[in-house]
Amino acid sequence: MGSRGGSGGDGAESHGYAADIHSIREAQARIAPYVHKTPVLSSTSIDAIVGKQLFFKCECFQKAGAFKIRGASNSIFALDDDEASKGVVTHSSGNHAAAVALAAKLRGIPAYIVIPRNAPACKVDNVKRYGGHIIWSDVSIESRESVAKRVQEETGAILVHPFNNKNTISGQGTVSLELLEEVPEIDTIIVPISGGGLISGVALAAKAINPSIRILAAEPKGADDSAQSKAAGKIITLPSTNTIADGLRAFLGDLTWPVVRDLVDDIIVVDDNAIVDAMKMCYEMLKVAVEPSGAIGLAAALSDEFKQSSAWHESSKIGIIVSGGNVDLGVLWESLYKQIPLV
Amino acid sequence: MGSRGGSGGDGAESHGYAADIHSIREAQARIAPYVHKTPVLSSTSIDAIVGKQLFFKCECFQKAGAFKIRGASNSIFALDDDEASKGVVTHSSGNHAAAVALAAKLRGIPAYIVIPRNAPACKVDNVKRYGGHIIWSDVSIESRESVAKRVQEETGAILVHPFNNKNTISGQGTVSLELLEEVPEIDTIIVPISGGGLISGVALAAKAINPSIRILAAEPKGADDSAQSKAAGKIITLPSTNTIADGLRAFLGDLTWPVVRDLVDDIIVVDDNAIVDAMKMCYEMLKVAVEPSGAIGLAAALSDEFKQSSAWHESSKIGIIVSGGNVDLGVLWESLYKQIPLV
């Protein structure tokens, strides 16, 4: 595990982070008509295996199948009518893309989604289902960004960033509010980490409500830039990533890094086999379809790294953020039973 | 569809049925410490396909993966200490067996589960997980019953019937109470039908709360004894059954038949392909692992038979009882993508 954050115990307000408990509560009120309040599930069988009480916040049941609609709808409904009139644009090809398409549809404005030509059909279908305008780009991030920039210039659409944005972070933080409203006695929350939008929102809300709540990140070994960043004390990016957790390949941004640096107590790194085992446990014991990125919190809870840490001994009731459920059934089955890569 | 029940509109009390709203409310209080209050999920994507608002009562998230723990725990905790001391016995090899094993474990008494030698390994594992004593029998129902009878005589254990029993029916009826507490505006409930314990409890509770609520049964074509019984006006049994819905192969009992006859408004019969399609939709859109018997309510909601009925035109908000989620992932995948039988 990485080193402990410096200010984990003294709350999250007035440190100049991009969001705070007030912007998160404001987001909760703003997005309430557009998102599901997702259920918290538990399984005594899983608890017996882990040896702790786990509370699974199931964002796989969220609209568009992932937590992303929270940040996307908060960003899009925070726009004034003039700003919104030209529409919005993003260049994610994953859950954020579908969420932006859906939130724009709910607001009644156009969404331009830049998608690389090699994107999986099911993700493209999700964007189409919500009426997003698809603009194809080449595979490289440079091509995606330059196409998005061109769309912005041509249409006047506003960019909705997947994580490095106050309104996005505030929207994602509403997961934390709901979880702690339902199970206030939680002492630890394990959150998947990628660009850091979700964990920043979750940490800012949870530490403001109760500064003693421990925030642990779960990160795939093949994209462990956050763990490296925590160890180095600065943002580290990687030349490439390699993990089945396709939602966890982004790097931290300048707005999420300070929160991760200060308020995330530790980062647990797990390998793809552990993620697949956790997906299988979610299916068989929790009866929930979970994508690799969504299962990583359980994988972290089951890991030796966690069990050998002081956090393990100090944890009793652990919230697990199950971030999304968008995985093709055949692909899931093949990865579970044939141990071939998911993507 | 079968003919409409005669007394669907005048409530469910004082007709001399095995259970009533009072025994169901009593069950709710008795079993509260031992069961999950399961979430009700909805999906705007599925609603758009069906053309109605659906509310999925997800008993796949129930303890032991199915609604059966409700009836089993009500039966077992209703025993006085003297009755309970010798333990309980049942000869189901399905979800009821695991539920009896779990409820007995919670009460701290032995459970003797008679299982035919050809039972699937995963179902045997579920019984073992909850500490049930397994007694093997031959495959025939006669062998299973005679072994169970011998166990009763040798141990003094009390038989916990899977459906034809007041306490079982009352326990299953608590599904209906929870669903209508959460979504009181529901006008129609679709319930899987097998021995009739679940639908009897659901119908008795719902019609007592609001006599105008429509109760529809969903039954597999290869085990359509209930539809035949409704048409004939008496209990019909079949020489054999053939359906992937392994939880829906039992026939009505003398306590469940009167309720089905009088309070179930119609029976929708669907074939196995429709069940598999519904399982796939549950996985992909609802993100929930559902066994064939649990998906049949959605299959019925999607059926032409329903859409051509008067019930369709009179329904607006439909509760779907997703009865269980115990299906092997590999088996599910194979049935979905290779169209081979599940069992």
Q: How far apart are CA A100 and CA A93, in angstroms?
A: 11
Tens digit of each residue's pLDDT (9 = 90 or more) over A177-233? 999 999 999 999 999 999 999 999 999 999 999 999 999 999 999 999 999 999 999
Catalytic residues of B: 68, 93
Over residues B167-194, mean pLDDT: 98
B289 vs A45, A288, A336: nearest CB? A288
CB atoms within 10 A of CB A86: 16
ipTM score here? Answer: 0.84
Query: How far from B18 is each of A9, A35, B255, CA to CA, in Å?
Result: 58, 42, 6
User: Which pLDDT does position B93 carry in this prediction?
Assistant: 66
B15: pLDDT strictly greater than 90 = no
Over residues B281-291, mean pLDDT: 92
User: Which pLDDT does position A20 carry in this prediction?
Assistant: 98
Beta strands in A193-305 (DSSP E): 214-220, 266-270
Q: How far apart are CA A86 and CA A187, in angstroms?
A: 44
Percent above pLDDT 70 for chain B = 92
Side chain identity at B38, as an amino acid letter? Answer: T
Per the DSSP assignment, residues forming a β-bridge with A317 are A53
Interface touch B329/A41, C-beta < 8 Å: no
Place of tokens 């779907």: B320
User: Which pLDDT does position B338 carry in this prediction?
Assistant: 59
Please give the residue of chain A at the shortest CA–CA distance from B289.
Answer: A287
B56: pLDDT strictly greater than 90 = yes
Q: Are B128 and B134 in contact (CB under 8 A)?
A: yes
Residues 241-300 of A with CB under 8 A from B: 280, 283-284, 286-290
Residue spans of alpha helices (H) in chain B: 21-31, 44-50, 68-77, 81-84, 95-107, 121-129, 141-155, 166-182, 197-209, 225-232, 257-263, 272-281, 292-302, 304-307, 310-314, 329-337
User: Which pLDDT does position A338 carry in this prediction?
Assistant: 58
Give Cβ neighbours of residue B169 (< 8 Å, ≥ 6 apart).
Answer: B18, B19, B71, B163, B197, B200, B201, B204, B255, B256, B259
Domains defined for chain A, CATH in brackets: 21-67+165-337 (3.40.50.1100), 68-159 (3.40.50.1100)
Please give the residue of chain B at the shortest CA–CA distance from A40.
Answer: B39
Burial of A342 (0-12, 13-18, 19+ CB in 10 A): buried
Q: Which position has the higher pLDDT, B3 or B283?
A: B283
Nearest-Cα distance to chain A for B255, in Å, is: 32
User: Which pLDDT does position A5 carry in this prediction?
Assistant: 38
Residues 38-57 of B with CB under 8 A from A: 39, 41-42, 44-45
Q: Is A332 on the interface with B (CB under 8 A)?
A: yes
User: Cα dihedral sign for A129, A132, A135, A141?
Assistant: negative
Among B287, B327, B329, B340, pick the best mutation site for testing chain A contact (most A Cβ within 10 A): B287
User: Which pLDDT does position A121 carry in this prediction?
Assistant: 75
Q: Is A336 on the interface with B (CB under 8 A)?
A: yes
Tens digit of each residue's pLDDT (9 = 90 or more) over B101-154? 999 999 999 999 998 887 777 778 889 989 999 999 988 878 888 999 999 999
Mean pLDDT across chain B? 91
The pLDDT-based confidence of A336 (bands split at 50, 70, 90) is low
Instruction: State the DSSP code for A212.
Output: T
Tens digit of each residue's pLDDT (9 = 90 or more) over A8-61? 334 444 579 999 999 999 999 999 999 999 999 999 889 999 999 999 999 999
Query: A112-126, B211-225, B316-330 — which is least confidently predicted?
Result: A112-126
The pLDDT-based confidence of A93 (bands split at 50, 70, 90) is low
Tens digit of each residue's pLDDT (9 = 90 or more) over A123-171? 788 899 899 999 999 888 789 889 999 999 999 999 999 999 999 999 9
Tens digit of each residue's pLDDT (9 = 90 or more) over B150-176? 999 999 999 999 999 999 999 999 999
Interface touch B287/A287, C-beta < 8 Å: no
CA A191 centroid distance within chain:
8
Tens digit of each residue's pLDDT (9 = 90 or more) over A257-277? 999 999 999 999 999 999 999
State which H helix or E strand residue A21 sits in: helix A21-31
User: Which pLDDT does position B5 carry in this prediction?
Assistant: 38
Q: Is A60 on the interface with B (CB under 8 A)?
A: yes
- Closest among A298, A277, A291 to A331, alpha carbons compared: A291
A1: pLDDT strictly greater than 50 = no
User: Which pLDDT does position A284 carry in this prediction?
Assistant: 87
B8: pLDDT strictly greater than 50 = no
Please give the residue of chain A at the shortest CA–CA distance from B282.
Answer: A289
